[in-house]
Structure 1
Amino acid sequence: RAQAAAEAFDRALTEAGVVIDPRIVCREDAECDAPLLDVARLSDLILIQQPEPGNARPSDAHLEEVLLQSGRPCLIVPYTGTAQVPFRNVTVAWDGSRSAARTLGDALPFLRTAARVEVVEVATGFVPDGAARGARLIAHLEAHGVAACHRTLVSSLPFAQAILSHMADEGSDLLVMGAYGHSRLREALLGGASRDMLGCMTVPVLMAH
């Protein structure tokens, strides 16, 4: 199965005119976390398929480890449908956290080529300093060659539902958001918002931690 995936990837690279040497890091019946992280930490971008609900694969178990421990940006693509690149209409979910800031920096190459970039803060009510904070963020992006707009999205829905519904209305084709985690028994675990997004995402999502 790993060999078949590598061969399919190699064919896609050939069709796209990309020269790279695909290799199998580990197989599904082997311990993969350590070798995967060794490769991931020396990569510019990690591509991961969203786990398919009701059809779990052994490789799905490594998703959280790579997201939280690689230190590299991860582009998760939906298990169904196709993604068109370059991304033209990008939504950035912003909450001022370390993870959000890290992902924003990693996303700059995508943001610079987009036709539209919207920064969205999801809130349950009025945010007193939302406009000022948004203006500072927009100025920061402009300094990096990105023209963007800012919006505070007031919603009582859970974060994932609120942002995905808004993106559907706006026709967004990429979501940029931080991968939030917490520790339990010395293990890094994905936070609820990130886990929810991975479960119901309908467009590619760029995450970093």
Structure 2
Amino acid sequence: MTIREMLVHVPATGETGPVIDLAIGLAGRLGARLSALYTIRRLMMVSALFGRHSPILADAARQEYARAQDVERAFRARVDTADLAVRWSVGEGDAAALVRWAGRLHDLIVVPQSSPATDEIGFDVPEHAVYRSGCPTLIVPRTPPVTSVAEHVAVLWDGRRDTALAVRGAVSVLAIARQVTVLAAPERGSPDILRPAPFSIQDYLSGHGIQAELKRLDPEATLGFGAVLDSVVGHGADLLVAGAPEHALVPVHLGRPNRLDLLHRSPVPVLLAH
């Protein structure tokens, strides 16, 4: 899929300047328009407590929109050095709901990793972007700041439907990378297939002008995503493309491999689809 419209989440809590810079740089390389979505949760809460016509709400709105203007000026100052089409918008409500709604009309969402210390109360933004927007989502670590992405891209290929969606959604990104490495995990068989046709991920990528090196993962290593992430870092990749982990948005039992490591603990940016 050609990426023409990108969305980056700008939370009211701030502290995401490096993520915004990364989105600006990636949009410039892709030739995409970048829309920044600034989200304000506080007004929804004030409205629920005091009513939509309350002077308290009006005063809170003035404060929040004054802050939004300051953040917009800082955003546009970052963009001034790049030849890039941008759009700024403000949404009021739960950040996760606003991002997933807006994401349905974009080709790629860019969000920072969750941060319990600074995030507003509400649903987890990366999880809802990945699982409920219908749009491929790039999740960027906050610390340490990521300065570049998509120079060396790793693709975790396991033949799952979500993985295929992620790869198709990332074709534009893979095409601009200097190096692409496919980390091949064992694919699940199907009782309805005796012998599959000889199609391969490398052939698919080659058809899009992308040359990829294939590395096979140890079947035991794929049981925990921590080992997969270690492999990504070990190969020197600065971005991982993968299908969204299964069974998200539900508790993960303690002591079992946490498949949500890809969303919340990856040391490199991850591009996921569901």
For the residues of structure 2 that align with 1:55 and 1:34, how far apart are their CA atoms?
18
What CA deviation, in whole Å up to 9, does each residue of 1:16-48 have, x standing for no partner?
23231211122xxx3445443331111121110
Where do 1:53-92 residues align within 5 Å? 54-58=117-121, 61-85=124-148, 87-92=150-155
Letter in 1 for 2:90: I
Asked whether 1:8 is paired with 2:74, we answer: yes
Larger Rg: 2
- Closer/same/farther in 2, CA of residues 138 and 190 from structure 1, 3 Å limit: farther
**Which residue does 1:200 correspond to in 2?**
265
Q: Percent identity?
A: 28
Asked whether 1:49 is paired with 2:112, we answer: yes
The unaligned stretches of length 5 or more in structure 2 are 1-11, 13-37, 39-67, 187-195
Where do 1:97-108 residues align within 5 Å? 97-108=160-171
Structure 1 residue 98, shift from structure 2 partner: 0.6
For the residues of structure 2 that align with 1:108 and 1:161, how far apart are their CA atoms?
25
TM-score, structure 1 as length reference: 0.79
**Which residue does 1:127 correspond to in 2?**
none
For the residues of structure 1 that align with 2:199 and 2:178, how far apart are their CA atoms?
20
The unaligned stretches of length 5 or more in structure 1 are 124-131
TM-score, structure 2 as length reference: 0.62
Structure 1 residue 10, shift from structure 2 partner: 2.7
Asked whether 1:21 is paired with 2:87, we answer: yes
Structure 1 residue 54, shift from structure 2 partner: 4.5
- Closer/same/farther in 2, CA of residues 171 and 135 from structure 1, 3 Å limit: farther
Structure 1 residue 8, shift from structure 2 partner: 3.3
- Closer/same/farther in 2, CA of residues 36 and 54 from structure 1, 3 Å limit: closer
RMSD: 2.9
**Partners of 1:135 and 1:150 within 8 A in 2:** no
The structure 1 segments of at least 4 consecutive aligned residues displaced by more than 6 Å after TM superposition are: 132-135
